[in-house]
Chains A and B, each alone.
Chain A
Amino acid sequence: MRSMSILTSEHLCRSFGDLKAVNDFSISVENGEVFGLLGPNGAGKTTVIKMVTTLLPPTSGKASVGGFDVVHNAGDVRRLIGYVPQMLSADGTLTGRENLMIFAKLYDIPKADRAVRVEDSLEFMDLTDASDKLVRNYSGGMIRRLEIAQSMLHRPRLLFLDEPTIGLDPVGRRAVWEHIQRLRNEYGTTIFLTTHYMEEADNLCSTVAIMHLGKLAIVGAPSDLKASLSMEDATLDDVFTHYTGHILESGGSFRDARSTRRTARRLG
């Protein structure tokens, strides 16, 4: 009796003081799909990710991964998921291989398998040649690929990628896309990503959910959503405007802008 959904959330809410960062958020993510959560900076995407990855308890509502509740069975959830935060989270003062080795240990990969698993991940992400260099000498795209390698060492069933291509140049961005798709195809990993690049979501995702000011505006396949607009050559930008009544530029805050630019600067 295994449900087809790997991730479900029901009426998930999270407030910070008076601010309702996430408000009545209900979704269902199917096994093996690439699910995109879209919206401008400050829409609440990262707060959703923090809740479903067990980092932040919801104010109300609930969510489960693989049937495990994210609050009450956090330990079980953590074994099923991988997570790549928005910020550049690989350790620049260690080599690529060392970055992977530490996570192999933290994820209980048996000693006998660790070295092989690390080599496989390096190869999968095309980082074998750079594996013994300090990560601070990597390019932004390489760091992102290393972080994805870190998060897939334990073969998670569900991988969260928070703004995986933010701050990357077009070449780095395309390489990250290709690796995400290969990950899904070869390992059957379900991918949950957030982005505010609409054309990226259109290319990568089988389902997109559009979020605005903490609320879910619409969920569906990109092609269906675009077709639902009686408009020729509709893009996801048009879908966003149609369902939220806002243009994409709105939203965000000083804090978001600062953290995005900090990430971008570290990448550049």
Chain B
Amino acid sequence: MGLQRLTGVASSIYSFFDKTASIGEMEARKLRHDPTELITRAVQPALWLLVFGEVLSNVRLINTGNLTYLAFMAPGILAQSVLFIAIFYGIAVIWERDLGILHKFLVSPTPRQALVLGKALSAGIRALSQLVIVYALTVLVGVSINWNPLNLLLVMVVVILGSALFSTFSLIIASLVKTRERFMGIGQVLTMPLFFASNAIYPIAIMPGWLQVISRVNPLTYEVDALRGLMIVGGSSSYGVGFDLLVLFAGMIVLVIIGSKLYPKVVM
């Protein structure tokens, strides 16, 4: 009996992750059929690195320690471009509701947590394209990248986790506001504060005290911190990459649990 129960549990765990993966796979297939949006998404990080970054590195206004300003901000821009896409992911939830795709997912015997985690993974898959773009731009502006395979792998993990976290946050907002118009308004309001109240384009040390507090609880800070330790030659993480990963992972799990409670309400 005991063994039977154990295999039952094992097979439902397998089924859970199999379903999560298949939702992610669907997203990858969509991207393969129509990769045009990946190209348009290269524009924003290009502006930040090629225009903003080049100009600011000439004035040498910000003390970034042993790193050049461009080397300092490159991981920040990767995190930012991932954030800007993930934070609007909820619009897809509303869109799928309007199309009835969401109804069909929810009528299937798929655990809600697997649906939400699958959506988070989908956002992570999309974010990997930003990684390629920002790495190319970083090489272009002459910053030395750490090509150690382990570092590359960990950067991918950080990007997927960061994207999963913010896209699930976005899914929660979409589940609460339920309409496209309200969602777009809130999305606009959120992105810039999340970006500016982080260590993405300047160190926390030069912020006023109140902003430092906000930055410390902003998950984006930990994403940037991990990337800064992994991506650039000579870069270092302030909190430790392991701790950063832990924060991102724990944050994602909490949001997935909340999200899976709210997600079914979108169709009600």
Nearest CB in chain B: distance from A156 CB, A: 10
Contact surface of A with B, Cβ cutoff 8 Å: 50, 53-56, 75, 78-79, 81, 83-89, 91, 93-95, 98, 102-103, 105-108, 134, 150-151, 262
In the complex, 8 of the A-B residue pairs with CB atoms within 8 angstroms, ordered by the A residue number, are: A50-B267, A55-B268, A78-B108, A83-B103, A89-B100, A91-B101, A105-B22, A107-B109
CA–CA, A265 and B168, complex, Å: 31
Residues of B near A262 (CB, < 8 A) are: 98
What residues of chain B lie closer than 8 Å to A79, measured between beta carbons?
Answer: 109
Asked if B42 CB lies within 8 Å of chain A CBs, one says no
**How many of chain B's residues have a CB under 8 angstroms from any CB in A?**
26
Inter-chain contact A75/B109, CB cutoff 8 Å: yes
- Enumerate B84-118 residues with CB–CB distance to A below 8 Å: 98-101, 103-110
Question: Distance in Å from the Cβ of A64 to the closest Cβ of chain B?
Answer: 16
Smallest Cβ-Cβ distance to B101: which chain A residue: A89
B109, A94: Cβ atoms under 8 Å?
no
Chain A residues whose CB sits within 8 angstroms of the CB of B110 once the complex forms: 106
**Within 8 Å CB of A78, what residues of B?**
107-109
State whether B26 touches A85 (Cβ < 8 A). Answer: no
Q: Is the CB of B109 within 8 A of A93?
A: no
Given A54-B107, A55-B267, A78-B108, also A98-B29 (CB < 8 A): yes
How far in angstroms is the closest Cβ of chain A from B260?
14
A55-B264, A56-B268, A78-B109 in contact; A98/B26 too (CB < 8 A)? yes
CB <8 Å contact, A94 and B99: no
Q: Bound state CA distance, A93 and B103, in angstroms?
A: 18
Contact A105:B107 (CB < 8 A) given known A56-B268, A88-B100: no
A105 vs B29: C-alpha distance when bound (angstroms): 15
